[in-house]
Amino acid sequence: MRSLSYPLAGAVALLLAAPVPAQADLAVVGGQSVRAAEAPWAVALASRQRFGPARSGQFCGGAVVGQRTVLTAAHCLSREVLGTDVSEAKDLRVIYGRDDLRGVSGSELELRATWVNPDFDTETNEGDLAVLTLKDPLPHDSAIALAQAGDGVYRTGTPTAVYGWGDMFGNGTYSETLRAAGLVMMDDAQCERAYPGSAEGVYRRATMLCAGLPAGGRDACQGDSGGPLVARGRLVGLVSWGSGCAQPGHPGVYTRISAAIDKVKEHSVDVLKPAPPISPSEARSGRVTGGAGPVARKHGRQPASHAGRPARPKGRSHAVPPPPVPVRGQRPVSPPRGAAGQRSAGEHPRRPW
């Protein structure tokens, strides 16, 4: 692997030097707690019927881009994950503004319509996009702007942050509260070398991007699928797939929002206005506003080891059909990155197999 370029090295140093709240907890593998009000566009997808009552039935994430429009990953709504066709998942909800999934704060919103990209390729993972239309509108300021093509935030080394309620250590320990982890935008060539083509997928720079840290340690993980990757107050990606969680040399792969804007507009009931581009120098600066900035990692703790994780079946891009829900209290076995594994209160899809 080539040595870091100066902009990327500088961005990593910027993240590591950022102040950390005294009570920050590791989560989203190498992240920390975030209040729902700080990231109102980060929402949870839930189904108690299919994933149990614990944690409000959360199984994936999503991003609010309009008052009635939520984006998520296509594989989150697949039969392999839901155990049925999405049209039969009658209790599917979007959870908005809930600080703790064990509570009842915020709102659980019903869906009026779902659109799953028919061009989603389960072999390469290309086109991992779905658009959800809510029955009732969210507040106007809940939506996050879309980063369009040519925006400097897509430049290598730009500080980013990923948000979700997924596996905190890569060992099947899922979060009850929203977490975020600071990452940097990785070079397309690095991503192509990491994912040249295998049963995991194929990195396609035109429709995907990847973010992480060269040494690993921070990443999205199981249960974070469909959640937002944000840079400079703009949505740049949706959590899609990868190999392991927070592994060196294997950054997370995301659906590139700039490549999906036309499809999103076509299937949204809202009038969506992409954010005006910012310059590459602004993108590299790391100066961010609101809750969309990178989140520093709490020092002194490391993610759990990934040793012993079950091998991923070859030639698959999704989780196996979920077996019956296990006895409550049974400790779930963490699936490989990208799997729903078991349809239980503790098992949630992260990225397609």
E-state strands within 176-331 = 179-185, 208-212, 228-231, 234-241, 252-256
- Can you give the pLDDT at residue 286? 55
Phi, psi angle pair for 253, to nearest 5°: -110, 135
CA atoms within 13 A on the CB side of 245: 38
Catalytic sites, residue numbers: 75, 128, 225
Reported pTM: 0.77
Tokens 């990868």 sit on residue: 242
Cα–Cα separations (whole angstroms), residue 87 to 34, 82, 119, 126 = 32, 10, 18, 23
Cα distance between residue 341 and residue 264, in whole Å: 29
Report how many helices (DSSP H) and strands (DSSP E) the chain contains, helices first.
Answer: 6, 15
Q: What is the CA radius of gyration of the chain?
A: 18
Cα distance between residue 165 and residue 43, in whole Å: 9
Domains annotated for the chain, with CATH where assigned, are 32-272 (2.40.10.10)
- Can you give the pLDDT at residue 212? 96
- Can you give the pLDDT at residue 35? 94
- Can you give the pLDDT at residue 3? 26
pLDDT in tens, the chain (353 residues): 222 222 233 333 333 333 322 222 334 788 899 999 999 999 999 999 999 998 999 999 999 999 999 999 999 999 999 999 999 999 999 999 999 999 999 999 999 999 999 999 999 999 999 999 999 999 989 999 999 999 999 999 999 999 999 988 888 889 999 999 999 999 999 999 999 998 889 999 999 999 999 999 999 999 999 999 999 999 999 999 999 899 999 999 999 999 999 999 999 999 987 888 888 877 776 554 433 343 433 323 333 333 223 223 222 232 223 333 332 222 222 233 333 333 333 344 544 43
Cα–Cα separations (whole angstroms), residue 311 to 133, 172, 225, 295 = 36, 15, 20, 31
| Alpha carbon distance, N-terminus to C-terminus of the chain | 25
